[in-house]
Structure formats: structure tokens, C-alpha cells
Amino acid sequence: MPDTLSLVRQLILNADDFGLTPGVNRAIVELVAAGCLTSATLMAAAPATEEAIQLARRTPELGVGCHIVLVDGISCLDAAMQRRCPWITPGPDGLGMLPATPGQLLRALFTSGMGRRQQEALLEAEAHAQIQRLQRAGVALTHVDTHKHLHQFPAILRPVLQAARHAGIHRIRNPFEPAWSRRLTPSVPITRQIPFRILQLFRRSFLRTVARHGFATTDGAIAVLATGALDRALASQFLSAMPEGRWEMVTHPGYNDAALDQIRTRLRRSRETEIDALQAVSSASSLQRISFAAIDTTSS
């Protein structure tokens, strides 16, 4: 369970998708320099990963986690292992392409005919390959999370925890957004709110599993439902409403440039809006800005 300090508000300001494009990378390092970010999660096989690795190594004040990609990306497994995964398909230049959406991955797992242990072993191998690629490049990883928050699902969480533990990592994002934070985004379409609420049913199972594996996490993630709509005003509302505890604000800053046009993503114009939102957060008082490295794993 999260180790919260009473009467203290601690906030991890995290940017996802480090390595996605040079414009995303530039936004992240600029925000770190301005005191607006404390953490980022790095993709192991994205178009601008190599640049992001170099930037991470030159920015020791930034806590860097592994943004484990199991959908909408490229596998880091070798060819022999890729052939064992029915959810990986051949792509250009011999690359193994992961399923495009969470629904496609979950359907592939359900229809694979594999037992649970075999499926989880292959998912663990993928997660470990991504973590290992970054560690071997000299990135000291503070924690893990997953692209599209897939570790909400127990079948994904278990292999992700195993992979992280084998790599010496014992911190993970709590992807579940608390009710006080969700209430600040009532304008989100109902088609997004309904599945979001259904997934909240996995929260207790997540916390039990994380504790059983000896991992530390936060009290929850804020601004998840607001992804794509996080602006300066909404960010300020989150900070005003934030109670005591340890929270992570999940953001996706970046520059909407030609490189981003080549990426399949719904987050384009909103990335620059989130740069402005994070600048507003930097002026907030009465809270401690931390990274995942500050979370004590010995008491989890």
C-alpha cells in the first residue's frame, strides 16, 4: 500500500511518452529545466527513443521510468520469441508489431489457446526486454508504468510486476484515479466515462497484488480522465482540490510538429496545451514535488 505522510501533499509530475518524437522530448527537458516536471516515462522502441536516452542521462534531476508498451508499438523481443506470441505480427523491416489497441491485445490473449502461465511468461519477457534495453543504455529507472494504463488488468499487472522485480525495480504507477479528481472533469464524453468507471473495479485487486509483490506506489493518479483536455485552469483546480497524500499527475506534453503528424495518436493539439498547464502547476505552493525515487519501498 502507499506509504503516505500525514498532513503532507506530495505530487509526482510525470510526463508519459518520452521518446515518442523529438518535439515530445524537447518539451519534457524544457519543463524539467523550468521546474515543472519531476518524472517521465520512457518508451524503449519509439521513433525518438535514442535521443530521449541521451537526454535522460544528461538530466539526473529527472526521475525516469519505463513506459512499457504492449499495444500500439514495436516489440523488443527477438524474432524467435516474437513468433511465439500470436498477438505480434510481422511489420516492415522485420519489426514485430504489437496490437494496435488494448481491445485487440485482450482479444488475442483470450483466443490464443494458451494457458495463463504461458501468456504471462511471454508478456513478462516483452516487458523485461523493454526495461533491459533502457537499463543497458545507462538509464537508471525509478519505476514502471504501461502505455494506455494496461496494468489495470490483473493479467497484465502480474507479468509487469515480475519483469520489473527481476530488473531490480520496486515502484509502479497506481493508474486508478480517485473520485475527487474524476469529479473535476464532468465534461468528458460519457463514452469515455463508462469504461473508465468499470475499470475502477480492479483497483482493490491492484493494490493487493502490488503489496503482495513488495512494490510501492502512490495513492492514485490524477488527470487521467482529463487526458486530452488538461489545461491551465483544470490543472489549478486539481491542485486546489488535492488532499493530503502522495499523488501522481499524469501528463502528455509535447510540441505539435511534423514528427507528431507521423504518429497515430489522439493527443496532438492538447500536448502544447499541457505544456502551459504544467507551467501553471510549477507556481503552486504548499506541496512537495517528488519523483518515484522518493517513495520508500522498504515499508510497502
Instruction: Summarize pLDDT for 219-276 with one digit per residue, the tens.
Output: 999 999 998 889 999 999 999 999 999 999 999 999 988 777 677 676 667 788 899 9
Q: What is the CATH number of the domain that holds 59?
A: 3.20.20.370
Q: Which residue has the higher pLDDT, 187 or 83?
A: 83
What is the tens place of the pLDDT at every residue in 30-62?
Answer: 999 999 999 999 999 999 999 999 999 999 999
The average confidence (pLDDT) of the chain is 92
Q: Report yes or no: 17 and 43 within 8 Å, Cβ to Cβ.
A: yes
CA-based radius of gyration for the chain: 18
- pLDDT exceeds 80 at position 113: yes
Extract the C-alpha cell encoding 204: 482493490
DSSP assignments along 204-225, one per residue: HHHHHHHHHTT-B--S-EESST
In a domain? residue 2:
no
Is there a domain that residue 1 lies in? no
CA distances from 105 to 20, 95, 204 (A): 21, 17, 23
Write out pLDDT tens, residues 177-212.
999 999 998 787 787 788 888 899 999 999 999 999
Q: Is residue 167, in this structure, part of any structural domain at all?
A: yes
Total domains in the fold of the chain = 1
Strand-strand pairing, 96-97 and 89-90? antiparallel
- Name the band, by pLDDT with cuts 50, 70 and 90, for residue 297: confident
300 belongs to a structural domain: no
What's residue 5's pLDDT?
45
Residue 5 C-alpha cell reads as 505522510
What range defines the domain where residue 256 resides? 9-294
Residue 278 domain-assigned (yes or no): yes
Q: How confident is the model at residue 7 (pLDDT cuts 50, 70, 90)?
A: low
User: What is the number of alpha carbons within 13 Å of residue 105 lying toward its C-beta?
Assistant: 22
CA–CA distances in Å: residue 95 to residues 45, 82, 99:
11, 9, 13
Which of the four pLDDT bands, split at 50, 70 and 90, describes residue 87?
Answer: very high
pLDDT attached to residue 95? 94
Helical (H) or strand (E) element with 142: strand 141-146
pTM of the model: 0.93
**Residues found in the chain:** 300
Residue 95 in grid coordinates? 519489426
Residue 272: the pLDDT is 83
Residue 4 has pLDDT above 50, yes or no: no
Q: For position 6, what pLDDT does the model report? A: 46
Residue matched to cell numbers 522498504: 298
Sign of CA dihedral 223, 18, 202, 270: positive
Is 38 a domain residue?
yes
Residues pairing with 221 in the sheet: 248
Is 60 exceeded by the pLDDT of residue 300? no
Helix, strand, coil fractions of the chain, as percent rounded to 5: 45, 15, 40
- pLDDT surpassing 50 at residue 170: yes
In this predicted structure, what is the pLDDT of residue 2?
Answer: 53
Residue 210 placed within a domain: yes
